[in-house]
Amino acid sequence: MATDTTSGGVPASALAGIATRFRVCPATGLKVDLAAERLIKANAVAAVVFLAVGGLFGLMVALTRWPAVHLLDAEWFYLVLTAHGLNVLLVWIIFFEIAVLYFASAVILSSRIAAPRWAWAGFALMLVGAVLANVTVLQGNSSVMFTSYVPLQASPNFYLSLILFAVGALIGCFVFLGTLVVAKEERTYEGSLPLVTFGALTACIIAVFTIASGAIILIPTWLWSLGYISHIDTLMYKLVWWAMGHSSQQVNVSAHVAIWYLIAAVTVGAKPLSEKVSRGAFLMYILFLQLASAHHLLVEPGLSSEWKIVNTSYMMYLAVMGSMIHGMTVPGSIEAAQRRSGFTKGVFGWLRHAPWGNPAFAGMFLSLVMFGFLGGISGVVLGTEQLNIMMHNTLYVPGHFHATVVAGTTLAFMAVTYLVVPIVFQRRIMWPGLAKWQIYIFAAGAAGISLFMMGAGTLGVARRHWDITFSDATISFSYPDAAFLMMGLNGLSAILAATGGVLYIVNVVASILWGERIDASNAAGSLGPMPQKVVKDAVATYGNAGTWHLPGTYVLVAIFFTAFVLYYFVNWKYLSELWPMQ
């Protein structure tokens, strides 16, 4: 029996089979592997579910720290604080980052995903680990907080759940790397990796280091909790744990910076000012960012002063330089694209006419600004050995975390969701007006949490005490009245951020379930208001903006450096008042 073939001798049935593996997104022109699409959906949905769980726990923490409310007693506070840290610093973030890795490889490179069965196995391990971690914490015998410092001992299932989750995430990283190999071998793209994919590769490399560090410390700690190991050295634990704990946040930084470039390309057709410089900045993350975790260990007596000084000065400054490069090139690429589109009036005409009504763009730009001004500047202050002593183990530290992970990473992830839903789920956003307001509400809440926690920390409020009034203390102590004001404002900001989070979850879930299905007839406008409608080349190809005429960006950078210098030296003045030098 004859078999139908093409002119090249390839069986037609084989080509049909290949065709069924992919679809072309009518809104962007990107070719989407259906297996990758299902994996992106699963990881993104799991991420949103655990964001809801972690956000609820976070609101309870904030209301307990608000002296006028003081929602929980001590036992419940530390249980809820542990669950909050696990869900928002680990589970929500990493589930979403795995979805980003699959999108940045299979979708942007128009490639089939490597080893989808292994990818599903990794997802299953992550899901089991996440559920087991929450169940174990809620059982009440694992309230060791996110850091789980020894000699505090949790249930063995607590450590086992983290190990399972980490192994699943590691499988996801290897599937991403395998997809890059497949794309290269099958020539689905030309030249160098697109910048967004390169940023995702940076996140993946740091993630492998992070997970390896976690395995080095969590496996012995698990055996310790089972009684097979008699002793875990506390300093060794802290040192290796922060190689995992701080580096996991560097995965976030690399991922959300890649998302900044992605959203800028999709919404305004932006190309980086210099591909080589942006890639060099990502490489600086790989080489130096993990070393900045030393700022968590600056008061540890077992580590040498030389080690502390090198890691919190030279190494940290090189890592900060990478973020400063991105902080200039992202708005610079947007300005170049906007001026190319005709928005050339004045210094900031390009910014006034940016698509602020598009929640993806608005969220990305607010993420960039708050990550730089709140997270970046406070990170340098915390990383300076002399200044760190004023804020170490105060609420300033979680204030910095919220500036980077909430105002920076979470807001960027929320923003890109408004592109993922149309591109991957093929659904229009159910309530686009609500999506626009959601971004600003959440951003205002996140900024308030960060600022007021850092303000309270500057006034000395302890990082991990459940009651700043010390109502049950034998020896009374009172913070300044301003500290109580800061904690009240922090509680109000948490309510505002929680409101924004609820609006995000409701809108995304409603859009996925009941949003209008997107096809070629209604694809126009599905990604929200934006001047650039054909985005595949902007996202998936190598190229530079081709101009350095960026007066608006230079002014923004000057404002940032002015704020940076002023705040940095204000803290030195504050230090001189704490330690007067006669």
Q: pLDDT-derived band of residue 1, with 50, 70 and 90 as boundaries?
A: very low
| Residues 6 or more apart in contact with residue 566 via CB below 8 angstroms | none
Q: What is the pLDDT of residue 545?
A: 67
Whether residue 42 has pLDDT greater than 70: yes
Q: What is the pLDDT of residue 6?
A: 45
Q: What percent of the chain has pLDDT over 70?
A: 93
Region 445-462 average pLDDT? 95
Region 215-242 average pLDDT? 93
Question: pLDDT of 483-494, one tens digit each?
Answer: 999 999 999 999
Per-chain mean pLDDT for the chain: 90
What does DSSP say about strands 22-24 and 31-33: parallel, antiparallel, or unpaired? antiparallel
Question: Whole-model pTM?
Answer: 0.93
Phi/psi at 542 (5° precision): -80, 140
| Residues 6 or more apart in contact with residue 73 via CB below 8 angstroms | 466
Q: What percent of the chain has pLDDT over 90?
A: 70
Q: Is the distance from CB of 556 to CB of 347 less than 8 angstroms?
A: no
User: What is the Cα–Cα distance from 402 to 398, expressed in whole angstroms?
Assistant: 6
Per-position b or e across 246-255, b if 16+ CB within 10 A of its CB: bbbbbbbbbb
The residue among 190 and 315 whose pLDDT is bigger is 190
Whether residue 522 has pLDDT greater than 80: no
Paired tokens of 253: 């930084």
Paired tokens of 580: 């007067």
The residue among 404 and 540 whose pLDDT is bigger is 404
Q: What is the pLDDT of residue 297?
A: 87
Region 11-24 average pLDDT? 58
Q: What is the pLDDT of residue 8?
A: 46
The residue among 531 and 528 whose pLDDT is bigger is 528
Question: pLDDT of 324-348, one tens digit each?
Answer: 999 999 999 999 999 998 999 999 9
Highest mean pLDDT among 24-38, 317-331, 383-397, 555-569: 555-569
Whether residue 10 has pLDDT greater than 50: no
CA neighbor of 36 nearest in space, from 19, 22, 48: 22
Query: Dmax over Cα atoms in the chain, in whole Å?
Result: 100
Going from the C-alpha of 509 to that of each of 88, 126, 164, 450, 523, the distances in angstroms are 19, 21, 27, 28, 20
Q: What is the pLDDT of residue 83?
A: 97
Question: pLDDT of 177-209, one tens digit each?
Answer: 999 999 999 999 888 899 999 999 999 999 999
